[in-house]
Amino acid sequence: MEQLSGEIFYPSKDVLKKTRVKDWNQLADFAGENLEAFWEKEAKELKWFKKWDKVLDDSKKPFFKWFTNGKVNIAYNCLDVHLDTHRKNKVALIWEGEKGEHRSFSYFALHREVSSFANALKSLGVQKGDRVTLYMGRIPELLIGMLACARIGAIHSVVYGGFSVESLHERLEDSHSKVLIVADGAFQRGKIVPLKAIADEALQRAASVESVLVIKRTGEPVNMEYGRDIWYHELVNLPMINSKCPVEELDSEHPLYLLYTSGTTGKPKAILHTHGGYMVGTYSTFKYVFDIRDDDRYWCAADPGWVTGHSYIVYGPLLNGATQLMYEGAPNFPFPNRWWQLIEKYGITILYTAPTAIRGLMRFGEAWPNRHDLSSLRLLGSVGEPINPEAWKWYHRVIGKEKCPIMDTWWQTETGAFMITPTPTVPLKPGSGTKPFFGLKMDILDEEGNPVKANEEGFLVVKTPWPSMMRTIYNDPDKYVEKYWSKYEGMYLTGDSARRDEDGYYWIIGRTDDVIKVSGYRLGTAEIESALVSHPAVAEAAAIGLPHEIKGNAIHTYVILKVGVEKSETLREELIAHVGHEVGPIAKPENVEFVDVLPKTRSGKIMRRVLKARALGQDPGNLATLEE
């Protein structure tokens, strides 16, 4: 094995013996030199109604196309293909509710559910290319609804259930959704989030929605608007709805979904992914990184409403015919052993979660996990933000019992699939995602575009295309070019800063733009600021992220009140609640500080870096452009 520097965790003999990819370097070298051949080989493992003409078409870059003129459907590859195999009656999805209710679906059952759901959507007039928004908690209907859209070529847009009125409204409007699928509510730590009521408020401001399909989850009474709202369980049980639903044979580049994510400025943008390339990317990364096997019981604890859930709850696992768990609730409710209990109960073999959850659970001490039999685990995963070595080692020792390699996977909504990640046999360094996935060339550059020296910080870029890459920003192709492809000629700008050590291992430092990662959730300063400014008392606002022990980053805000408005503790609390109501509870600022001025450039842009430096007691650096 290679000589590496620093603290290294080598794979055990057992891992080396059992893992699919024995020689990482060999496959990486092959893919590095034969990008298209590598991806073509992966694509051939999936079912296509018609084979592609070209693997990669870069004639209109950065609008890359993959598997051109192929005919395919990702939902067909998630379900139908397994029905002729030993997997037909295999459990695809085990679901447990916060209160301990249990549901499970075989591949056969899931296929039936998805087909009926697709027919229900068709009965509402949903056609190929229409947008459908889904807004609910972690329940099977979310996954089923997404696959139902994909089956008929509709484009799903999932809005995370932790978002609120304004966030939902913006997304409904920007996507021009025809149908909204919403749960009556969601359970959260014993309380109920009234999703339908939030949606009703958002719908008052959104004109395109013709029908609202309501899923019963909590059973609490909700308002049903005649002619617009319909219960899913009533619709799907009508005699005209059955489970025979032919699958749409779609072009490889047919849009699969929109997923809104925060960027540098303004409103969240819809990242667009397509059937063919995204399917190949999620299938292949999931297969190699988690080294998935037929007897695995995989659990990704993320929310399907974020990209992690799209790629590694819905698509990656089902494409691979895996068995997985979906859990509705929070890690520490009612007690901090909830997760460990689930791992024991279901014999989970792979756990994929975020550093913030690890840090949060670490706080309660080892006694909680130690009460449970976690010996079924063979692999762990981390995603969403850099994992600090201390949390990594706790995860490795206390949860993985020093036998489970940790797959620290760096990627983004835009990339669709893992980009920097180990596979199980790669020697690990706590806090590093190791190296780029097969076929990817990445680099770290300085402002002028020169590669930085080992261990120096710079802008992380990707120099090769990959199949699951975003295709564009929906409704805004110019922004796609400007934001991701214009800083350096021909390279994808990730928005992260990173360094690479002497062994070629990548270490992510954080965002270089105005995106704040709170508990792994991606939020934009602009969203929080516009929510604050929408309050009648506020004249101007600025939001920044400051380090937080559990959340990674916490939101701090600075507010200039309108003339004549009195500063008060009550107003401070009201503003925090207002952001929660508009954007969602996850966006609630840690603090609101009332100020008289904000640092601005001469062109009027708020200099958040100055605010940040001040809050951290650091030198704000170059202030040449500072106006006030």
Residue 424 C-beta: closest distance to ligand WTA, Å: 16
Backbone phi, then psi, for 552, in 5-degree steps? Answer: 85, -60
77 vs 412 by CB, closer to ligand WTA: 412
Using CA atoms, how far apart are residues 331 and 323, in angstroms rounded to an integer?
A: 21
229 vs 408 by CB, closer to ligand WTA: 408
Residue 432 C-beta: closest distance to ligand WTA, Å: 9
57 vs 496 by CB, closer to ligand WTA: 496
Residue 412, token pair as written in the block: 């983004």
| Contact between residue 384 and residue 308 where contact means Cβ atoms under 8 Å apart | yes
| Cα Rg of the chain, angstroms | 24
110 vs 399 by CB, closer to ligand WTA: 399
Residue 302 C-beta: closest distance to ligand WTA, Å: 8
Residue 392 C-beta: closest distance to ligand WTA, Å: 11
Residue 416 C-beta: closest distance to ligand WTA, Å: 10
Residue 506 C-beta: closest distance to ligand WTA, Å: 9
39 vs 410 by CB, closer to ligand WTA: 410
Using CA atoms, how far apart are residues 48 and 74, in angstroms rounded to an integer?
A: 9
Backbone phi, then psi, for 366, in 5-degree steps? Answer: -75, -20
Residue 478 C-beta: closest distance to ligand WTA, Å: 21
Residue 231 C-beta: closest distance to ligand WTA, Å: 33
267 vs 511 by CB, closer to ligand WTA: 511
SS3 394: helix
Using CA atoms, how far apart are residues 306 and 300, in angstroms rounded to an integer?
A: 12
Q: Which residues bind ligand WTA (CB under 6 A)?
A: 261, 306-308, 382-386, 408-413, 433, 494-496, 508, 511, 517, 522
Type of residue at 381: G
List, as one string, the DSSP characters of 413-463: TTT-S-SB---TTS-B-TT--BSBPTT--EEEE-TTSPBPPTT--EEEEE-
Using CA atoms, how far apart are residues 24 and 305, in angstroms rounded to an integer?
A: 32
153 vs 304 by CB, closer to ligand WTA: 304
Number of other CB atoms surrounding residue 335 within 10 Å:
10
276 vs 545 by CB, closer to ligand WTA: 545
Angle ∠(36,37,41) on CA atoms, nearest 5: 115
455: left (phi over 0), alpha (psi -120 to 50) or beta: left
Residue 464 C-beta: closest distance to ligand WTA, Å: 18
Q: Which residue is nearest to ligand WTA (CB)?
A: 413
263 vs 336 by CB, closer to ligand WTA: 263
Type of residue at 397: R
Angle ∠(95,98,101) on CA atoms, nearest 5: 55
Residue 410 C-beta: closest distance to ligand WTA, Å: 4
The answer to whether the Cα torsion of 267, 469, 81, 90 is positive or negative is negative
Which uninterrupted H or E stretch holds 357? helix 355-362
76 vs 312 by CB, closer to ligand WTA: 312
| Contact between residue 406 and residue 395 where contact means Cβ atoms under 8 Å apart | yes
